[in-house]
Amino acid sequence: MFFWDPVYLIFALPALLLAIFAQMRVQGAYQRFLRVPNARGVTGLQAAQALMRASGLHVNIESIPGQLTDHYDPRQKVLRLSRGVASQASVASVAIVAHELGHAQQDAQAFALLRLRSGLVPLVNFSSWLGPILFMLGWLFQAEFLLTVGIWAFGAAVVFALVTLPVELDASRRAMELLDQTGVLVDREELRGARRVLNAAALTYVAALAQSLATLLYYLFRFSGRRRD
């Protein structure tokens, strides 16, 4: 019901446009640099093995389907690589692998924000859909208690997005340091390409935070208006 509220569109539209732009950027950078071979001819899987040896990391590697589904699982200590990234010797593949190993490095060093994000996952999986439902019920039945609980529940999703952004930025910083120190990418042009891929990916997390904040601000705006009435 809120999607068709003109006031909601005022709050949400800028964040939505940013999200669309971010997805276009990340897809464009990924597709472009996936076609650019790295000078060493190192696949994503080989890059992962080389970077782990150089940094002293020890995690298992698994193959998963999909595109841009690559991730590091801190609970199981597993680096999961999409088949395209694992098998292709491209600048994009190496950049993505290095980023995920940045998360593995965070985990090995007990990076506080990564620990916090991992701890928030079960709560956010529950509250991110429960909050809007409770807020909608509170709006329909004019129940201030449900409105309040809905706002607090959805607030957990905002906190999660707020914590995620610095975690991802730090992983990208670590990735560039690993690539620069190990020489997996051999020249500045390749490193610039890797940075473009990582910067485009980071923008998606900025957009996710903007969307969460826009929705929360809309809820607060409507809640304050209902209380004044």
Q: Which residues are known to be catalytic?
A: 100
Lookup result for tokens 């068709």: 4
Question: Kind of pairing, strands 71-73 and 78-82?
Answer: antiparallel
Measured CA to CA, the distance from residue 1 to residue 226 in angstroms comes to 16
Q: Where are the beta strands (DSSP E) in the chain?
A: 60-64, 71-73, 78-82
DSSP 111: -
Is 219 within 8 Å of 154 (Cβ atoms)?
Answer: yes
Q: Residue 107 corresponds to which tokens in the numbers above?
A: 């985990």
Q: Residue 98 corresponds to which tokens in the numbers above?
A: 């290095």
CA 79 to chain centre: 16
Measured CA to CA, the distance from residue 36 to residue 159 in angstroms comes to 37
Q: Residue 8 corresponds to which tokens in the numbers above?
A: 């909601």
